[in-house]
Amino acid sequence: MQIFKFMVPEIIFGKGTLRLIGESARRLGATKVFMVSDEGVARAGWIDQAVQHLKDVGLEYQVWTEPTPNPKDYEVEHGKELYLEGGCDAIIGLGGGSAIDAAKAVAILATNGGKIQDYEGVDKIEKPLPPLICVATTAGAGGEVTQFTIVVDSKRKVKMTIGSKSLVPDIAIIDPLLLSTIDAVLTANTGMDALTHAIEAYVSVAATPITDVLAYRAIQMISSSLRASVASRTNMEAKISMAMASLLAGIAMSNAILGAVHAMAHPLGGLLNLPHGEANAILLPHVMRFNLIACTERYAEIAQAMGEKVEGLSTREAAEKAIEAVERLCSDIGAKRHLSEFGLQEEHIWELSRVAAEDVSLITNPRDATVEQIAEIYRAAL
């Protein structure tokens, strides 16, 4: 058995648990909270509710909604200035992947100083972060439970991955009610992000028996509830199932890490600002086809988890069923299928492939990939 460690925050799960945000912050010793969120979350009314819960327990607060999708270095540096000027002593990330990534990046800079680029890579954070609570408003990104944050270097146009045990939040709150204000497109995209986390974690070279059970169950739950969650904002059973599946997939990928889909999606976000979930959904079947020879048995298991009939099939045939099942899910939920729909052209492919080949997520991909092979996968997804 390989040596591994397993990291997870305190998790509070369930309908209506947003109301525990105030007492959670107090428990961590907060007196003035810096809340990182975005305009969409504000419009949905969740910031007002969260702020009320902070007021109820006598906490001061400052709300910051500047971060954009794929948060940028200059945004998080501005956030850090506001945090320090405001005399805050704890951070809450309330949002989807971008707001939570921005909250974590502000937390790094608040106590460690310097530029966010200084922390690119693994284990570069030396000083403890302020108390950090993350509340997910989407079911997919997983940042509320992971040891990672991703920030765009605006000069290099590269998504930097920062990994450290310090980035595991102190408390993660997952309230499925928050999913009821998300439209079908975002539900589909974030759901495909969660499925990608689960599949990449399941076939990762760093997978462990602990991450396997989490990833496998996440694949089962997403396969059986994502369609229903996309179909209706008010199907609370589907929302609860997706919230749990996203949580399981997030913990699995935080500990087993990712693979070529994320390595290739990151430069699409950095260079072309493509939404993360959409990039994953397009790339996932193509990367699965590339990885097939490295993890045929695992794909056959994924086919079973996705509800495919595999009796009587060879392992190879069953593995191919997993790829077909992913494609059918993408098509049922209306996910985009071609990178050209986002303006990607042949001329972009070499630069994207060069950056993807250097992405840390590639290290745990089950099949080694050269720049040329990565370029072929992008080309197939055009």
DSSP 320-346: HHHHHHHHHHHHHTT----GGGGT--H
Contact region with Fe ion (CB under 5 A), list: 185-193, 204-212, 240-248, 299-307: 185-193
Selected binder of Fe ion within 66, 73, 175, 193 (CB under 5 A): 193
Residue 151's beta-bridge partner residues? 160
Closest approach, Cβ 196 to Fe ion, in A, equals 6
Binding of Fe ion at residue 66 (CB under 5 A)? no
Closest approach, Cβ 53 to Fe ion, in A, equals 28
Nearest partner of 138 among 84, 90, 194, judged by Cα: 194
The residue sitting closest to Fe ion, measured at its beta carbon, is 193
Contact 66, 40 (CB under 8 A): no
Binding of Fe ion at residue 359 (CB under 5 A)? no
Structure tokens at 377: 């996968």
Contact region with Fe ion (CB under 5 A), list: 81-89, 193-201, 294-302, 370-378: 193-201
Residue in this structure with the two tokens 């059973």, named with its chain if needed:
237
Residue 241 or 246: which CB sits closer to Fe ion?
Answer: 246
Residue 249 or 292: which CB sits closer to Fe ion?
Answer: 249
Question: Which residues are CB-neighbours of 193 under 8 A, at least 6 positions away?
Answer: 97, 140, 141, 142, 276, 277, 280
Closest approach, Cβ 250 to Fe ion, in A, equals 9
Residue 66 or 193: which CB sits closer to Fe ion?
Answer: 193
CA distance 200 to 178: 26
DSSP 192-228: HHHHHHHHHHHH-TT--HHHHHHHHHHHHHHHHHHHH
Contact 58, 84 (CB under 8 A): no
H or E element that contains 148: strand 148-153
Binding footprint of Fe ion, residue count (CB under 5 A) = 1
Residue 186 or 310: which CB sits closer to Fe ion?
Answer: 186
Closest approach, Cβ 193 to Fe ion, in A, equals 4
Contact region with Fe ion (CB under 5 A), list: 171-179, 190-198, 210-218, 360-368: 190-198
Contact region with Fe ion (CB under 5 A), list: 10-18, 61-69, 192-200, 323-331: 192-200
Nearest partner of 306 among 195, 210, 203, 190, judged by Cα: 195
Residue 89 or 193: which CB sits closer to Fe ion?
Answer: 193
H or E element that contains 357: helix 346-358
Structure tokens at 361: 């997520």
Q: Which amino acid is at 266?
A: H
CA distance 34 to 343: 37
x/- site string to Fe ion, residues 232 to 271, per CB under 5 A? ----------------------------------------
Residue 80 or 286: which CB sits closer to Fe ion?
Answer: 286
Question: Which residues inside 72-91 make contact with Fe ion, applying CB under 5 A?
Answer: none
Residue 24 or 254: which CB sits closer to Fe ion?
Answer: 254
Give the three-class secondary structure for 278: helix
Buried b (16+ CB within 10 A) or exposed e, 134-157: bbbbbbbbbbbbbbbbbbbbeeee
Residue 73 or 193: which CB sits closer to Fe ion?
Answer: 193
Closest approach, Cβ 147 to Fe ion, in A, equals 14
Structure tokens at 272: 């072309």
Helices in 138-295 by DSSP H: which ranges? 184-203, 209-231, 236-256, 260-272, 276-291
Closest approach, Cβ 186 to Fe ion, in A, equals 14
Contact region with Fe ion (CB under 5 A), list: 188-196, 233-241, 317-325, 371-379: 188-196
Residue 193 or 320: which CB sits closer to Fe ion?
Answer: 193
x/- site string to Fe ion, residues 285 to 314, per CB under 5 A? ------------------------------
**Interface with Fe ion (CB under 5 A):** 193
